[in-house]
Structure 1
């Protein structure tokens, strides 16, 4: 039976909480470091993926970003790209330090906004063994253009209020992470609110909101531009009908990865977390791992 440990690792001035999944037969293993997307927490189906990878023999470190879920950080629900990238680096360092993990065979696995983060992280870390990015965010400008204009205006107005308030020491002005079409939310496509909230189990440490200032940062974040710098194999799992992270710019950036592999899925952004689409994408990801980060490789000496 797979073992799941609760642990924490330092990042910035606080710590991130994580689960470490260990295969039942022990030994030193390759590991996946796994992080969620926009405002997501690890209970939102990351455990389902980790259980499959662990059953196949891979260790998995699944973490919450600072300011979200069970991790530390104040104020709560502050989505900082810079801090989340720091959290990724800290999570990778934690995985490599574990005696159960082969430090030469650490894989980055990110979904949605986290799919962009793994591209940016791998571009700066040549020791990463492989990357899996699904439903991935690659281009802030493209995602912003995919928003309804009425929602964009409402969100930007709150973002400006939040920035001014932060300078005056006031509590954050919030926007919904996912909401109905036309609302003041970051994701307002027809399938966004229902698809996003369906991933949240009862009693998860989750709030459907983030500090609005994030909307001013996302437009400038284009992690897809870093694909040409990634030396390791990269699997791009692209949803053809993605309403949140448009497929076209993602495919453009994927073509620039020296060792990129693209898998297309005829689904929307939130479909691949459950049901048959989930089964298919996990099968493909395990096949990718088997080709590029097999369990049989000799572990690195410590």
Structure 2
């Protein structure tokens, strides 16, 4: 790394912020968490208790994890000595504008200022900042929960400095994430746009009565989910073309692929259809609590990650 990160400020202690907190602390950072929620201490304690086994399963030393986490409802106090700030506030432009105006004023001049924003690019909420301040602000968008899912989309704004981009990549790599730099701002970034494209077709297929929500999930988890956990869409297609690769695939089935693109659905999702879909999803999964479903999800995600680790070790 080109610089050392010792102290991280986590601004916003919702689901994402709590997950970041556990991850950063597990990698030895001092973490200062700020959120006005009255149950902040309880929320952090419960999150650390829930996530500690996950982190230990990933081979991290979780001894004294809670001792490295400090709480405050004051943003200024949280960022005072920070080397890096991870913002996880509401997805509202005005909120982020006001918050980052505070962050650039109160955080040390060397602090890297990152936002977990899932749709709003940093250029939109740094317009009123001076060039030198905007230069250290960029998006570090995780996938939920970030202490388990490795991807972080690193998205610089129009005035973000190259040093900040490099430092963000180094920082996320240092806490075991897989940072991917996206060189053009686009609403939703890459991951959420791909997810939404698939979700749109999933809603359409259920809306048209082709498949139930539960069976559509079975299709994904027993086919594309397995494939895409090991290779992405392009490598998967390259392999689908056999020895001739992606070129062979495009030359032989490219026309039918384009026809299928043209026929992809556009769900109406009027009020009646939306209510029907909600009830169908609730019927499929409503018998389990949120905690039960997330525990199952995280247990399975840990199993996938462990299996991929083993495969990588065998390959090397």
* Pairwise same-fold verdict (TM > 0.5): no
Q: Which has the higher contact order (CA 8 A, sep 6+)?
A: 1
Higher strand share: 1
Higher helix share: 2
TM-score by length of 1: 0.32
TM-score by length of 2: 0.30
Q: Which has the larger radius of gyration?
A: 2
